[in-house]
Structures are given as structure tokens and as C-alpha cells.
Amino acid sequence: MVDFMSELDVFFHPKSIAIIGASDTLKFGFATTKYLLDSKFKTFPVNIKKKEIHGHKAYKNIKDIPEEIELAIILIGNEYVLQAVKDCVKKGVKGIIIEAAGFAETGVEKYITIEKEIAQIAKEAGIRIIGPNCIGVTDFNNQFSSADMDFDKAIKGRIAIIAQSGVLGNIFVDWATDKGIGFSKTITIGNKVDVDEIDLLEYLNKDPETAVISLYLEATKRGKQFIKMLKKMEKPVLILKNGKSEIGSKAVNSHTGSMAGNDKIYDAVIKQTPGIFRVKNFYEMFNIAQVFATQPLPKGKNIAVITGSGSLGALACDEIEKQGLNLAKLSEHTISLIKSTIPNWVSIGGTIDLGPSLFETFEPSIKVIFEDKNVDSLLYIFSVPRWPLQMMGSMATKWAKHQFDLIKELTQKFNKPCVCVCFGSGWTFDFLRKAASLSNSEVNIPIMSRIKHAIIAFKMMYEFNQKLNKDLQ
């Protein structure tokens, strides 16, 4: 339960729910209906044709439900939504999630008008609306969801998503789950006739479950308030915005009926606002958010690279320089301590390239690297072929668990962030993630597949730390 009150609470902790267009056939809305009816949330199905849905009495109209309803979820076709909204007003709901598509984004005058009418009716009645053309919300804490969430798999974490696209509501969560990335809340806002990114940034800024916000935006309708809100944010916000190009901008218009606006203005605003960062794609967005959500902020720009592969280490160096950061220059003391433990064929240039000696040399090396005052963040590149891990069997798992226990302990002790970048097959990733999750520590070490994302995360987090220091002065 969040510790602040807001009109928007109804979307995350509804006391009672009506599903208008509840379905027991395999179509859009089926999974949400079944999940909510079987859940702890008091849910009533509304279906004009059926008397029963999944064993629950169905009502012809929301007005027929004999109890108070706080939240309505509308899953019916676009032609019928306006009437359903009017019924919701009569019933006295506090919030509506309209998932149906087929409004302003079609470009058809008739549907644009209906969308405007819905907005007007809700405004007059003081009802908050999310949508249309979305899949609504998921709260990973109390497990309320209108978005077909698979809570058996999904991971609770500290990243919130606000997105003008349904794919962020379940498909990318599904991707992220595979990668060990967890969320606090996700909200897809579609054509946003009412609740928009500004309302939600304000809400999530106060949400104790959320540490970092990922925002996928096609366009804002309230430019000045958007800028003002960004400046007020106390939490880091990662923004992915499309519609940069002329054709992309047209595509945005036919997606959520938004005008993408001048991309250069968005870009300038984001660059000028400390703590707000622009990302280039969804993978980058979630990988970086995961570092923000799980790691301490780096105090400086110096990154130490511990690698099992010299070529990947060299690629990391290129990226470090490109991002304006530094490869940490280890102290003579640290280097001599590492050299005393490694075989003569191991190469310690700028990066610490342990190669196949990793199994013996990782532990003594990582300890002295964390301790080194010239090191602000650690990038650990894991590139062990599959066969030695498979042949070592449970010994390999034990070794990997020990390795992560050590990293977690050192991360906390020295308050320095560490990211593990893993190369290889899905099997190798699963092996590492399982090993990382075996320890009891609450600390989580991100394991990702892109060196670039780890380094950009360190850069943004260093900038965020500078902003915090400035705000404190």
C-alpha cells in the first residue's frame, strides 16, 4: 500500500471492479477477465449476452451490479464505449480503464469526436480515465493487473513504466522477466483522454515502491506542465521518444492520435534537465533502469573492467572513452597484488583480462579492485564457453554463486556499483542468473548482454549523483 493518497490510487488498489466486455472466449480481454475473477480483487463481469462468465454471475449493464464499483475496465468494441462510459458515470465509479482501440488514432472524424465526448463526460463527472487504446495498469506489489500479467513469473522490482504503447504493458515485461528485471508498476496510457504522463510522473515520484521511472512517450499534450514536472522529479527518469523523423511522426499519429511535435525541443528539454535522460531503444531503457534500481550511485567517472576476453575488454574501453568516462587507473599496489596471483600469460593492461584463469584469479582480483580508491564502478565481463561450465556441473554453480556473493558483499561494503555483462547462449545467462539468485542477499547484480548499456548506466548514474549533490547544497 502506498503511503500517500491520490485520485489515481483507484487504478492500483481498486476496492471493487467491473469488467465491461468480460469474456470467456479466446479473444482480447480473456486473460484479464479470468485472472481478476479468480483473484482476491472483488470483480464483477458485465456481458450483454451471457448470464455467467467463468462461474461468476454476469450483469447486462454495470448499473445492474448491486454493489458499489470503484473501477471499470472497458474491453468492448469502439462503437459501444461511449454508452458504457455514460453508464459508468451513472454507477458512480471513480476510475475507468478503456482498453478498446479505434478512436483518434484512426484519423476518422467520427471516432475523434467520440473520443472528445468521452473526455468531456468524464471531466464533468470528476472521473479519472486511463486510455483508450491501451492495456491499463499492473501493480507488482498487490498483483492487481488489467494487462494479462503472468505473476507466477513476473518479478517485483523498483522500476516503474509509463508508456504510450501496449507492448510495454506485457510483452516487454515478459522480456525483462527473462533477464531478471523487476517492476513496481506499469501503466500504459494509449490516447490519454485524461490521465497522462504528467499525472503519473507526479504519482510515481511519491511512490515508495518506485526508484526509477521509464517513460515511453509519443508526444505530450501539455508541453509547459511536462517540462515543469520533469524539473520537479526527485527520481531518475529514462525517456524513450519516437517520432523523430517525418515518417515516424506520421506513424505516431496513426498509433495514438498524437502529434509528435518538434523532436529537437524534446531533446533540448531532456538534455537541460538534470536527472532526466533520453535512451535510444527499449533494451537500453530497461537495462539502464535495472542498474539504477539495484546499484549504488558511482561517485566518479572511473570504471574498472574485469574481463574474461581481451577483445571485449578493448570494446569496453572504446565505449568508456566515447561516453566521456575514464578507464580506472589502478594503483601500483593493486596491480602488484593482482600480479602476485595470476599466471605469467595473463595480460594486465588497462583492463584486467583474466582470460581462462578466471576460476582461480577472480576472487583475489575483485577484492583489491573494489578496494582501490581510483575505482568508482566495476564492469565485469563474463565470457566463459559453455562446455567447462557444463562439465563442472554443480561445482560451476557453486563457484558462480560464491562469485556473486562476493560481488554483492563488496558492492555494499564499498558502496560502488557493479554490472555483469555476459556473452554466450541463453543457457549461460540462465546459469549465471540462477547462481546470482542463490544467495540470500537482497542486493541484486544486473546481468545483461550489452557492454554499452552498462557503461551508459554508469554515466547517467554519475550525473544523477552530481544532481543530488547540487540539490543538497
Residues 257-316 that bind its own copies (CB under 8 A): 281-283, 309-316
Give how far Cα 6 sits from Cα of 10, 146, 199, 287, 353, Å: 8, 19, 10, 30, 52
Nearer residue to its own copies within complex by CB, 377 or 411: 377
For residue 393, state whether it binds its own copies (rule: CB under 8 A). no
Instruction: State in angstroms the smallest separation of the CB of 139 from its own copies.
Output: 18
Contact stretch for its own copies (CB under 8 A) within 5-13, 206-214, 238-246, 267-275: 238-246
Among 387, 442, 472, 473, the residue binding its own copies under the rule CB under 8 A is 387
Cell, residue 371: 578496494
Among 11, 41, 59, 172, the residue binding its own copies under the rule CB under 8 A is 172
Please tell me the distance from the alpha carbon of residue 240 to that of residue 133, in angstroms, as a whole number: 19
Instruction: State in angstroms the smallest separation of the CB of 348 from its own copies.
Output: 7
How many alpha carbons lie under 13 Å from residue 138 in its C-beta half-sphere?
Answer: 31
Closest CA to 384 of 359, 366, 407: 359
- DSSP letter for each residue of 79-133: HHHHHHHHHHHHHT-SEEEE----SGGG--HHHHHHHHHHHHHHHHHT-EEE-SS
| Residues 10-29, mask of contacts with its own copies (x by CB under 8 A) | ----------------x-x-
Instruction: State in angstroms the smallest separation of the CB of 278 from its own copies.
Output: 13
Residues 324-343 that bind its own copies (CB under 8 A): 327, 343
Closest CA to 139 of 2, 43, 44: 2
Instruction: State in angstroms the smallest separation of the CB of 31 from its own copies.
Output: 5
Please tell me the distance from the alpha carbon of residue 159 to that of residue 473, in angstroms, as a whole number: 28
For residue 143, state whether it binds its own copies (rule: CB under 8 A). no
For residue 428, state whether it binds its own copies (rule: CB under 8 A). yes
Contact stretch for its own copies (CB under 8 A) within 89-97, 192-200, 240-248, 436-444: 240-248
For residue 242, state whether it binds its own copies (rule: CB under 8 A). yes
The DSSP secondary-structure symbol of 329 reads -
For residue 426, state whether it binds its own copies (rule: CB under 8 A). yes
Q: Give, in degrees to the nearest 5, the angle at Cα 221 between 220 and 222.
A: 95
Nearer residue to its own copies within complex by CB, 31 or 406: 31
Size of the site for its own copies (CB under 8 A): 89
Question: 292, 319 in Cβ contact below 8 A?
Answer: no
Residues 34-63 that bind its own copies (CB under 8 A): none
Cell, residue 241: 521518444
For residue 150, state whether it binds its own copies (rule: CB under 8 A). yes
Nearer residue to its own copies within complex by CB, 2 or 213: 213
Nearer residue to its own copies within complex by CB, 245 or 412: 245
Nearer residue to its own copies within complex by CB, 153 or 222: 153
For residue 349, state whether it binds its own copies (rule: CB under 8 A). yes
For residue 148, state whether it binds its own copies (rule: CB under 8 A). yes
For residue 344, state whether it binds its own copies (rule: CB under 8 A). yes
As a whole number of angstroms, the longest Cα–Cα distance in the chain is: 81
Q: Which phi-psi region, left, alpha or beta, contains residue 393 (left: φ > 0; alpha: ψ -120 to 50)?
A: left
Cell, residue 231: 524539473
Among 177, 331, 341, 465, the residue binding its own copies under the rule CB under 8 A is 177
For residue 348, state whether it binds its own copies (rule: CB under 8 A). yes
For residue 383, state whether it binds its own copies (rule: CB under 8 A). yes
Helix (H, G, I), strand (E, B), or coil: what is residue 341? coil
Instruction: State in angstroms the smallest separation of the CB of 423 from its own copies.
Output: 5
For residue 391, state whether it binds its own copies (rule: CB under 8 A). yes
Among 33, 47, 146, 256, the residue binding its own copies under the rule CB under 8 A is 256
Residues 178-237 that bind its own copies (CB under 8 A): 178, 216, 218
For residue 320, state whether it binds its own copies (rule: CB under 8 A). yes
How many alpha carbons lie under 13 Å from residue 466 in its C-beta half-sphere?
Answer: 12
Question: 186, 138 in Cβ contact below 8 A?
Answer: yes
For residue 112, state whether it binds its own copies (rule: CB under 8 A). no
User: Residues 420-455, buried b or exposed e (16+ Cβ, 10 A)?
Assistant: bbbbbeeebbebbbebbeebeeebbbbbbeebbbbb
Among 45, 95, 182, 243, the residue binding its own copies under the rule CB under 8 A is 243
Q: Give, in degrees to the nearest 5, the angle at Cα 286 between 220 and 14.
A: 65
Before 132, cis peptide (omega within 30)?
yes
The DSSP secondary-structure symbol of 150 reads -
Please tell me the distance from the alpha carbon of residue 215 to that of residue 189, in angstroms, as a whole number: 11
For residue 152, state whether it binds its own copies (rule: CB under 8 A). no
